[in-house]
Structure formats: C-alpha cells, structure tokens
Amino acid sequence: MKQTKEEWARYIQDEIQKNDSYDNYKHVFIEYKDCLEKCLLENPKNVEVVCQLAAVYNELTYQWEDIYKLLNEFIKKYENELTDEEKSRIYTNLGYYYDDQRDGSKRAIRTLRKAVAFNPNNSKAYYGLGADYYGAGKYDKSEEMYKRACELENNPIYKFEYVNLLLVNGKYEEAKIILEELIKKDFEFGKEDFARVKYSYIANKIQLREFENIENEIDDLMLETVNNDNFFEEEFAELYYLAGSYEKSRKIYSKFKIQDYQFPAWWLRFYFYSLKQLNEIEKLQENFKIVLKIKDEEIESIKNGEFLTECTKSYKKEEIREIKRQIKNLKAEYEKILKTDYKPEVKIYPKFLYDCFLIDCPRHQKLDK
C-alpha cells in the first residue's frame, strides 16, 4: 500500500518507464487521483494533497479551468491559515498551468511574481519566470530571473537556461565561463540534453570567433544527433556557414529542393552566399533563375485559376501582389550578395531544456536511487 507522495511518484515513474503508450500507464494516475480525492475529503486543508491532485488532473487532461478552480478556491478559502511558503508553492504550480507552453502569458507572470513575493527563495518560481519572460520577448528580465534561480539552486539545467539567455543577449564571454563548466560532463545530463549543451557551446565559440577545431566539433555533433528529433540539418548548415566552412554549408543547402517551397525559402540567401564564397557564380545564377521561374509559375497558376466569388478574386489579387513583393525582395538580396561584400546574417536560436517547474509533479519528481 502506497502511503507517501514519494512512493506514489516511484510507482508512477516505474509504470511510465515500462510502457510506451499513455493508455498503458494512465491507470496509475487514475489510482492516484482516487486516493488523493479521498485524502482531501478527510483533510481538506492539506496543501500537498491539493497540489498533487492538480498535477494528476493535468496528467488526466482535465480542462484547465477545473485545475485553476481547484487551486484558486483552495487558496481563497484557506488564505488566512496558509504559510507564505505554502502560498508560494500553490502560486508556482498555478503559474505553470496558466502557461504550460511558456508563451509569456501575463497572467502566468503575475502569478509567479506572487510566488516569489511570498517566498524569495523559491528557485522553481524564478525558473518559471525566466521561461515566461523569454516567451514574452523580455530577454533582459528572463536573464535576470534565470540568474536568480541559479543563485538559489545549484541546478545544471538552470545554469544552461541562463547561458542561453546570455547568448541571446550577446554576453558571449560570460556564457563561455558557464559552458566550459557544463561541457566537462560532471553533471547528470541525458545524452539528448547534453547534445543541446554542445550545440550552445559550439555556437558561442563561433560568436567569439574561436574557430580552432570548430569544424570537427560541428561534424561530431552532427553525427551524434542523426536520430535526434531536436536537431535539423539546416541548423548544422548555419553553424558551418557562420564558421566560414562554406563547402559544408553549400553541401547541406544543395540537398534542399527549391521547388518544395511556395515562398522564397529563408535558407536561399545563405546558400547563395556560400556559392559566391566558393566562386560557383554560374551555379548561383542558375539557382536564382530557377527560383524566379517557380515564382512566375505560381503567378500564372493563380491567374489561370477559377474565380468563384468576388471574395476569391480579391484574395487571389492579394496573393499575386505578395508573390511579386517576394520576387522584388529576392532580387534585391541576390544583387547585394553578387555585387557587394554583403553577408546575410544568421541568427542562432537557443535550444532550451524546458525543465518542469511544477513543485508538485509525480512524473518528474526527483527520487533517491
């Protein structure tokens, strides 16, 4: 008979590990839900039980409003009896549920700020704020929150997310210090997570123009991540491009089919520049002609299509205007690459680990081995 949340968490995690399909391990969350609901009836003021129950409702895909209601009504009903730490715990969990995709919800940010106001030592709430501020495009605030989370807890994932914000904010020397610490493999990163650390490490070295052995490092990471869904071939083309390895960036870009894109593909400018650097001017001109031909064919296809309604006519006219705008921009980009020293800029986006910051999460609760 499971008595503690640790025992339940171990049971749940064991079942998840044994079964690939949610349907095959869903039963453990139903069992835990039944147990928690019974416990809450017996002790309606138990903070741990209500927070665990909210997490289980989340796993069982209850409506968000049901989860919000459960926690908000609890905190409203027992507000005067809860400690500041308990309030912080509930608000941290609520902050997660309000924005589980970390898109920068104002409600989530407000709620997490309440969590740190009640408990300034709540590292998970600061971590959540870092994620949400990043989603909101407030990168300085995101960096500040991740830094505070690192100060409160020696957590390698927090350090890595902080590094990513240093990269976003152009603080490459500061990022280098932490990345060199993380790359030593002294921390418990899984293989796929450690590949992300390596990616940021390489990207930061490129920004610092530390190119020694960089091509080999990119080669190794590319081989290592062949079956890793978190990495795409074009990302390695970008790294090669930034490192000045134009032969390898061209090789990857040349695999992509221009015909598969209904708009000027974002990678074309980097492909064109790589061709120019390799003095393959004829190839550059040939590819540019192919793109123009595709765009002209798109316009003809729209013109020859049936106009069923006035609304459709208007929409298709707008489509043609958009394609012509694309052609104009592409021609300007092509001319700049061909005739000037212009180098199209590549922006490297960080690969976050997105650690779960729920204080109560039986799926991710850390357990003694």
Q: Is the pLDDT of residue 336 over 60?
A: yes
Q: How many angstroms separate the CA atoms of 243 and 210, rounded?
A: 9
Helix (H, G, I), strand (E, B) or coil at 369: coil
- Between 262 and 336, the more confident residue is 336
Q: What's the pLDDT at 2?
A: 65
Residue 264 pLDDT level (bands cut at 50, 70, 90)? low
Q: Is the pLDDT of residue 261 over 70?
A: no
Q: How many angstroms separate the CA atoms of 183 and 181, rounded?
A: 6
Residue 259 pLDDT level (bands cut at 50, 70, 90)? low
Token pair 């061909």 is found at 338
Domain range enclosing 266: 262-339
- For 2-46, write each residue's pLDDT tens digit: 678 888 899 999 999 998 899 999 999 999 999 999 999 999 999
Question: For residue 330, what are its two tokens?
Answer: 């592409």
Q: What's the pLDDT at 59?
A: 93
Q: How far is CA 246 from CA 136, 274, 306, in A?
A: 35, 5, 45
Instruction: Give the mean model confidence (pLDDT) for residues 326-348.
Output: 92
Q: What's the pLDDT at 225?
A: 95
- For 192-222, write each residue's pLDDT tens digit: 999 999 999 999 999 999 999 999 999 999 9
Q: What's the pLDDT at 349?
A: 87
- Between 358 and 271, the more confident residue is 271
Residue 126 pLDDT level (bands cut at 50, 70, 90)? very high
Say if 279 falls within a structural domain: yes
Q: Where are the beta strands (DSSP E) in the chain?
A: none
Question: For residue 121, what are its two tokens?
Answer: 């030592």
- Between 171 and 308, the more confident residue is 171
Residue 311 pLDDT level (bands cut at 50, 70, 90)? low
Say if 344 falls within a structural domain: no
Q: How far is C-alpha 209 from the geometric centre of its chain's CA atoms? A: 26
Instruction: Give the mean model confidence (pLDDT) for residues 116-145.
Output: 97
Which residues, in sequence order, are CB contacts of 305 under 8 Å at separation 6+? 316
Tell me which of 106-115, 223-232, 240-249, 263-272 is least confident. 263-272
Q: What's the pLDDT at 302?
A: 82
Q: What's the pLDDT at 309?
A: 57
Q: How many angstroms separate the CA atoms of 184 and 179, rounded?
A: 9
Q: How many angstroms separate the CA atoms of 87 and 47, rounded?
A: 9
Q: What's the pLDDT at 301?
A: 83
Say if 268 falls within a structural domain: yes
Instruction: Give the mean model confidence (pLDDT) for residues 132-139.
Output: 96
Computed over every residue of the chain, the mean pLDDT equals 91
Task: Report whether 104 contacts 116 (CB < 8 A).
Answer: no
Report how many domains make up the chain.
1
Task: Report whether 47 contacts 86 (CB < 8 A).
Answer: yes
The secondary structure element, H or E, covering residue 74 is helix 64-77
Task: Report whether 152 contacts 334 (CB < 8 A).
Answer: no
**Most confident segment among 91-100, 139-148, 327-336:** 139-148
Say if 218 falls within a structural domain: no
Which residues, in sequence order, are CB contacts of 235 under 8 Å at separation 6+? 199
Say if 294 falls within a structural domain: yes
Q: What's the pLDDT at 170?
A: 96
Look at residues 91, 61, 116, 119 and name the one whose alpha carbon lies nearest to residue 359: 91
Say if 127 falls within a structural domain: no
Instruction: Give the mean model confidence (pLDDT) for residues 103-131.
Output: 96
What phi-psi label fits residue 104: left (phi over 0), alpha (psi between -120 and 50 degrees) or beta? left
**Count of residues in the chain:** 369
Helices (H), 208-245: 214-224, 233-242
Mind spelling out the 3-state secondary structure of 264-311? CCCCHHHHHHHHHHCCCHHHHHHHHHHHHHHHHHHHHHHHCCCCCCHH
Neighbours of 230 (CB within 10 A): 12
Which residues, in sequence order, are CB contacts of 71 under 8 Å at separation 6+? 50, 51, 54, 90, 93, 94, 97
Question: For residue 147, what are its two tokens?
Answer: 């830094």
Look at residues 354, 359, 364 and name the one whose alpha carbon lies nearest to residue 134: 354
Q: What's the pLDDT at 307?
A: 58
Q: How many angstroms separate the CA atoms of 306 and 2, rounded?
A: 67
Percent of the chain scored above 90 by pLDDT? 70
Q: Is the pLDDT of residue 1 over 90?
A: no
- For 72-116, write each residue's pLDDT tens digit: 999 999 999 999 999 999 999 999 999 888 888 999 999 999 999
Tell me which of 53-67, 235-249, 271-285, 302-316 is least confident. 302-316
Q: What's the pLDDT at 350?
A: 87
Say if 154 falls within a structural domain: no
